[in-house]
Chains A and B, each alone.
Chain A
Amino acid sequence: AQSVSQHNHHVILSEAASLELGCNYSYGGTVNLFWYVQYPGQHLQLLLKYFSGDPLVKGIKGFEAEFIKSKFSFNLRKPSVQWSDTAEYFCAVNAPGTGFQKLVFGTGTRLLVSP
């Protein structure tokens, strides 16, 4: 079965610091990869996704992620975080074994950005 690992459960940064959140998945075949963000009290919103093409994906609000197939990784990055980036971040994957319809989520990383 597929699984997604997010190794950082809690991250605390100061404004303007750089961010990298790790995500590793277990499936060996073709996958689609996603990063969702959940701001306090809100629903999940898509930050970015990879499904084909350039493995360096740019998303909203200055976020980017790099798909490294050989490492089964899809790490999220932002060069300079803002207080408004305080949120919970979820990595997710779907794959042909699920018909690409079902998403498997990591357990999430809570980011706190101090002003």
Chain B
Amino acid sequence: DAGITQSPRYKITETGRQVTLMCHQTWSHSYMFWYRQDLGHGLRLIYYSAAADITDKGEVPDGYVVSRSKTENFPLTLESATRSQTSVYFCASSDNQIPGYEQYFGPGTRLTVT
């Protein structure tokens, strides 16, 4: 039972580069989410998806792009990375069948933009 996985786990990139963070879940959950975690801010929602080909902005979407061509994958792309995007990124999934709609989180990707 792999659950929810993220890759890479650690990434260092330069300002201006494009970088894609991958998220894969094996539960066939309909909902998937991307958060960033920064000291003093907790977790903030970047984008979420209700199903394949359905995505919507969260609290902090600027500078990010998502896609969801398959239910199990939800990649997050930083089109032109900036230092302010240095953060830990968590992917999560959920489903209407789960009581309370709790979310299950992946292990995170620590991204450093130099």
Contact = CB atoms under 8 A, between A and B. Distances in A.
Contacts of A70: none
Contacts of B73: none
The interface size bin for chain B is 20 to 34
Interface string A93-115: 01000001111011110000000
Contacts, number: 52
B50 A51 contact: no
Contact of B103 (A50, A51, A103): A103
B90 A106 contact: no
Given A106-B42, A107-B41, A107-B42, A44 B102 contact: no
Interface residues of A, number: 21
B5 to A, nearest CB: 11
A96 B31 CA distance: 16
Contacts of B90: 43-44
Interface of A: 32, 34, 36, 42-46, 49-51, 90, 94, 100-103, 105-108
Given A43-B106, A44-B92, 20 more contacts: A32-B102, A34-B102, A43-B90, A43-B107, A43-B108, A44-B43, A45-B105, A46-B104, A49-B100, A49-B102, A50-B100, A100-B100, A100-B101, A101-B48, A103-B33, A103-B43, A107-B40, A107-B41, A107-B42, A108-B42
Interface of B: 31, 33, 40-45, 48, 50, 58, 90, 92, 94, 99-108
